[in-house]
Amino acid sequence: MRVKAGTMYSVKMIERPDIQNYLPHKGSMLLLDRIVDYGLERPFLVSEVDTTAEDLFYRSEIGGVPAWVGFEYMAQSIAALSGVSVKSRSGGEPKIGFIMSIRAFTTEVPSYPAGKTVSVSVSEIFREDSVVSFDCSVTMDNAVVTKAVVNAIEVDSVPEFLGGKA
């Protein structure tokens, strides 16, 4: 176990810059700071984001990152789970994912203030072939503040999926 700011982490923790090896997001579009835990038998992943005034989506008029960005945190955490799963099982590259729908998105806060660490949890609740559904949440100050159910589809090739040739 490792400890950061009074929180215990599993030895599965993956931090920057290594986290980019598990996601298609790079540079300023990589919003996750670390993966703190995951499981593959009943697929789940927990990641963290350290909010700052330098964040791509930070808005000074609200003093933080708008809560709707929590959806992108969820989507990147889903992508990270796919990346961790594929790399752990076969060493290959993760499949590309597309969000099909977001259901039951609720938030208790208007923003995630600068200086906070938010925890993002995603857990697979349904899978049939390439269609998958996740229960997702964002926790701040030990309270769940944003929730959603995210439905996605995984594809092997974007051109093939869009009707072109691979």
- Report the C-alpha gap between 30 and 132 in whole angstroms: 22
Q: What would the pLDDT profile of 97-156 be if each residue is shown by its tens digit?
A: 899 999 999 999 999 999 999 999 999 999 999 899 999 999 999 999 999 999 999 887
**Residue 141: exposed, middle, or buried by beta-carbon count in 10 A (0-12, 13-18, 19+)?**
exposed
**In this predicted structure, what is the pLDDT of residue 95?**
77
Residues 6+ apart with CB under 8 A from 67: 107, 109, 110, 111, 112, 138, 145, 146
Global confidence as pTM: 0.88
The β-bridge relationship of strands 34-39 and 14-15 is: antiparallel
At 115, is the secondary structure helix, strand, or coil?
coil
Can the peptide bond before residue 17 be classed as cis, meaning omega within 30 degrees of 0? Answer: yes
- Biggest alpha carbon–alpha carbon distance for the chain: 51
Tell me the residue length of the chain.
Answer: 166
- Report the C-alpha gap between 134 and 74 in whole angstroms: 9
**In this predicted structure, what is the pLDDT of residue 3?**
42
> Long-range contacts of range 128-135, CB-CB < 8 Å, 24 or more positions apart?
130/95, 130/154, 130/155, 131/100, 134/74, 134/78
**In this predicted structure, what is the pLDDT of residue 27?**
83
Structure token pair of residue 122: 């995603």
Q: What would the pLDDT profile of 28-83 be if each residue is shown by its tens digit?
A: 889 999 999 999 999 999 999 999 999 999 999 999 999 999 999 999 999 999 99
**In this predicted structure, what is the pLDDT of residue 164?**
67
Residues 6+ apart with CB under 8 A from 11: 1, 2
